[in-house]
Structure 1
């Protein structure tokens, strides 16, 4: 069933898919290449443009936003897009900052969305930690992050990891929702020497393969592994890691 869910990967963390008659977009990043900086923050450098403009996607019903505080997950064009989207689901603090149609979700909170043809899609917020170590040590530095699981009667389950570096968080999700039909895994092993001694802030390729095993994911769509200078591993590294783990047949 999972192969019936096409996912368009649009660069960085951005992906577009239809689910239950609703169109979902993850972490919108549509700016041209450039640099983003701020007081006390490492400079982020975007290397490649998105292959499409937001207007090329047609109707967007829901944005699944792992967090709003970093430009490699929500850039200027992505932020402008939110005003035209009926619903943005994100972190509790992000919902407060964004206002408008944004709704913050705590871990395990659910939202029911009406499907155009009848029935509902359930979106569940799931744990994510944006860096190594326990949440209480990481969040003061990198901020809140959230992942999502989508379910619905007669539909394959979909996991969107968000900027998560914690396999323990993946296991918590797997304990409630595994096996998962399609896992959209943020990877790329982004690193900054000044943060956590250069440890990955999101899953590296080997951890992404382990996450797929933990979830017993039937299909994995890797995102967040191109287009930005601080992503230290690319899709070729993800492919190699899945091959080494004997999971290459699950990789999309």
Structure 2
């Protein structure tokens, strides 16, 4: 969809990550002098979306993860899962701590498990500035594991996920090396750089990789070309699937 927003199906459920569907514009960051600039609209219009069964929300504090239109959409979805703090702020969000699990029922009656996994939105100690974030792993009997990193800048935390879920077949990794300049955390990346993303792909050797958060916003500093080069240098380019906003693909997962 563009930005951190990805639509996919799992066990018959239609899943959406961090919903952002507003038009391009300026978005002030509450409590800071920062203004985020959205450069592109969504790859698919809000009214053209299918019915959504589940929203996986990395965090609810920044409008490049859930904007006005995305928030209105999410409030009408039965299952929205995010951080424990987000669940305390909004009664329509189910908040989970790291490694906590919730279970949904698929259309065929089977159980789909969602485990919240650790993520860090910047360098160590960044939470008072950039907020608490989460990633997710979807897993179910007879189906491949899917890892959604969320706004995670830490390959080490992704390594913890790989240790717990080594047989992950799809990794949706928020990349882009997001930075806000010296005004925020000394311009350190708030999501994974291209090199970090390739390194994390190496931690999940069975996984096909779909990057997100590499376009649509001015603070996404590293794009498809940098990712392609980093994956080639790491020898994992055969598992990289770069999708333009609005583009779809079907992956054969082990």
Query: Aligning the two structures, in what range does the TM-score lie when normalised by the shorter sequence?
Result: over 0.9
The aligned runs of 1:47-58 (5 Å cut-off) are 47-58=39-50
Contact 1:131–1:138 under 8 Å retained in 2: yes
SS in 2 for 1:84: coil
Name the structure 2 match of 1:66: 58
Aligned mate of 2:132, from 140, 144, 169 = 144
* Distance in 2 separating the partners of 1:217 and 1:44: 36
Residues 98-138 of structure 1: CA deviation (Å, up to 9, x unaligned): 212x10000111111101112111100000000012xxx11
Task: Kindly indicate whether residue 11 of structure 2 is the aligned counterpart of residue 20 of structure 1.
Answer: yes
* Distance in 1 separating the partners of 2:40 and 2:55: 22
SS in 1 for 2:136: strand
* Distance in 2 separating the partners of 1:113 and 1:122: 6
* Distance in 1 separating the partners of 2:33 and 2:108: 46
SS in 2 for 1:181: strand
| TM-score, structure 1 as length reference | 0.93
Q: Structure 2 regions of 5+ residues with no counterpart?
A: 242-254
* Distance in 2 separating the partners of 1:46 and 1:217: 34
Task: Kindly indicate whether residue 204 of structure 2 is the aligned counterpart of residue 215 of structure 1.
Answer: yes
Q: Structure 1 regions of 5+ residues with no counterpart?
A: 1-9
Name the structure 2 match of 1:247: 236
Name the structure 1 match of 2:114: 123
SS in 2 for 1:163: coil
* Distance in 1 separating the partners of 2:161 and 2:10: 20
The aligned runs of 1:164-203 (5 Å cut-off) are 164-192=152-180, 193-203=182-192
Residues 9-42 of structure 1: CA deviation (Å, up to 9, x unaligned): x100000011001110000000000001133241
Aligned mate of 1:91, from 75, 83, 95 = 83
Q: Kindly report the root-mean-square deviation, in angstroms, between the aligned alpha carbons of the 2 structures.
A: 1.0
Contact 1:92–1:103 under 8 Å retained in 2: yes
SS in 2 for 1:79: helix
Aligned mate of 1:112, from 103, 108, 111 = 103
* Distance in 2 separating the partners of 1:41 and 1:233: 23
| TM-score, structure 2 as length reference | 0.92
Aligned mate of 1:158, from 138, 142, 146 = 146
Distance 1:235 1:142, change over 3 A: same
Residues 161-209 of structure 1: CA deviation (Å, up to 9, x unaligned): 0000011110110110013100000000011222222111110000000
* Distance in 1 separating the partners of 2:117 and 2:20: 22
Q: How far 1:211 moved relative to its partner?
A: 0.5
Q: How far 1:94 moved relative to its partner?
A: 0.6
Distance 1:39 1:98, change over 3 A: same
Q: How far 1:218 moved relative to its partner?
A: 2.3
Name the structure 2 match of 1:4: none
Aligned residues: 239
Q: How far 1:217 moved relative to its partner?
A: 4.2
